[in-house]
Chains A and B, each alone.
Chain A
């Protein structure tokens, strides 16, 4: 197994395309992800028509004076969250986000500041929430050698004393290392460089990164082992990474539909977000969530080994 891993490293070293992918492109994407999320601020855009007097000093709210009601498409493209029109001493609220939302704004205008029930979402959630998608994408994409070997090299490797678990595990480990190390180094250094105020300790942050990369690599291994071609693996892997991150609240909180929440609880991404949320708010940690992620990852690796064993003669 040591030899196999060494061999994979050697192949990364001698091939220019792979070297660029592993050492430049990948860390670059991770860096961008951290950099972008760090500059994200969810600003509410409020358009004002007429003589609206609002004493709002809030960084998260941007007030824009308008002459007339914006076109429908501007609402849809989220140029304005809401437009407040003041005429004949009454406020009119215009938005496309429904009555509940408008009522909230109305309450706010009348001075009833609603205590927000939401738990705080800190920098760590934001950074890792977006990184979850990127790591998910890369986790599937990085099994380059696995597909390269499918054309016959793998059979030759299998005919030596190396067995299937060792073979698959060495692929898994290389991918895992190339996800975990850059992600950890980049996030930790970004926290120091940009002076980001994360609400959780560095060791627990590293542990969450470990969970995330461990699962992504395991999922990638499984996805690649069941797919016929790398293209197929990538298409489905990409979809899972993007949709999974969105529905599990990687970017913003989504619907509070109960049935739906119960379903997404089975997504490891959701468990990671919950873990982060609890850590940031100093709530007790759900140990089952962590165990669930680890067990699921191990299960996926095991499945990948079994599938590889069964399919190798057919490919």
Chain B
């Protein structure tokens, strides 16, 4: 299992894009958006950096949902994958190591960014509540990784998975209002954003940071865990190494 983890991790690092996206993009995009909308947030309560620092980290986490798909299906690593299937390791270890690798990598990169933002006081993460924010972020990443893995093993095509995930993520992100300082985009879109998990998570995070506590924190944490578990069950049922030869 550990050997598998190492192997998957190496594959993940091979794409130079991954490191850039998860380590540097959060900082870059936060600074950019913060600067752009600095006119829209000029009160003493928060600056635009406070707002976008939080939302962009979660946005990048959402973009990360394409990573597991690539680990499962990328053509370059298919040969190596095939060899692993024929060796005497359990099926569970194969897919679990892929999901775990993504989770650890994305989780680590984003947490690092978050802690850096916090320590240079660029973004307010709610003082001592930061630990809860990090836990929620990690939980959210876990949910996304299992979601992506579940879609991947169901659709079985790297291209379709990538196109579905990256486009849906951009849709959701725009309509959940994490980019724009606007209150409402009309009744129809409000309904959509209200059922999207990103909206729930963002609400909880901002409640944690600015109200000190969130009444829904426990429910959201447990809900995400249950959802991740259900998604993992789908992966477990549908993942057949033979399909990927």
Which residue numbers of A lie inside 8 Å of B, CB to CB? 17-18, 20-21, 25-26, 29, 32-33, 36, 39-45, 62, 71-73, 75-81, 95-101, 130, 133-134, 137-138, 141, 144, 151, 227-229, 231-236, 238-239, 241-243, 246-247, 251-252, 254-256, 260
Contact = CB atoms under 8 A, between A and B. Distances in A.
Given A62-B184, A71-B210, A251-B179, A231 B36 contact: no
Given A62-B184, A243-B29, A243-B32, A238 B41 contact: no
A18 B159 CA distance: 8
A232 B159 contact: no
B42 A246 contact: no
Interface string B6-25: 00000000011110110001
Nearest to A238: B166
B170 A133 contact: yes
B186 A43 contact: yes
Contacts of A227: 17
Interface in B150-189: 157, 159-160, 162-164, 166-167, 170-171, 173-175, 177, 179-186, 188-189
A240 B21 CA distance: 12
Contact of B163 (A25, A100, A255): A25
Nearest to B29: A243
Contacts of B185: 40-43
Nearest to B54: A76
Q: Is the interface of B mostly helix, strand, loop or mixed?
A: helix
B43 A98 contact: yes
Contact of B167 (A36, A137, A144): A137
A100 B18 CA distance: 41
A25 B164 contact: yes
B70 A231 contact: yes
B37 A97 contact: no
A78 B189 contact: no
A39 B189 contact: yes
A99 B177 contact: no
Instruction: Pick from B20, B167, B177, B211 the residue with the most CB of A within 10 Å.
Output: B167
Interface of B: 15-18, 20-21, 25, 29, 32-33, 35-43, 45-46, 51, 63, 66, 70, 74-76, 157, 159-160, 162-164, 166-167, 170-171, 173-175, 177, 179-186, 188-189, 202-203, 206-207, 209-211
A21 B43 contact: no
A7 to B, nearest CB: 18
A255 B36 contact: yes
A96 B41 contact: yes
Nearest to A18: B159
Contact of A29 (B33, B162, B167, B177): B167
Contacts of B173: 242
Given A36-B175, A73-B207, A141-B162, A43 B36 contact: no
Q: Is the interface of A mostly helix, strand, loop or mixed?
A: helix
A21 B66 contact: no
10 contacts: A36-B171, A41-B186, A42-B184, A45-B183, A45-B184, A75-B45, A97-B43, A98-B42, A231-B18, A255-B37
A231 B46 contact: no
B98 to A, nearest CB: 15
Contact of B183 (A26, A36, A43, A144): A43
B123 to A, nearest CB: 13
Given A96-B41, A228-B16, A44 B76 contact: no
B40 to A, nearest CB: 6
Closest 6 CB pairs of A and B: A98-B42, A232-B17, A41-B186, A72-B210, A45-B183, A73-B206
A97 B170 contact: no
A232 to B, nearest CB: 3
Given A21-B160, A97-B42, A133-B174, A247 B166 contact: no
B203 A255 contact: no
Given A138-B163, A231-B18, A255-B37, 16 more contacts: A17-B157, A26-B163, A36-B171, A36-B175, A36-B188, A42-B186, A43-B184, A97-B40, A99-B42, A101-B42, A133-B174, A137-B170, A227-B17, A229-B17, A254-B36, A256-B39
A235 B160 contact: no
Contacts of B75: 151
A40 B179 CA distance: 15
B15 A255 contact: no
A227 B17 CA distance: 9
A77 to B, nearest CB: 6
A77 B208 CA distance: 13
A235 B29 CA distance: 14
Given A17-B157, A40-B185, A96-B41, A260 B36 contact: yes
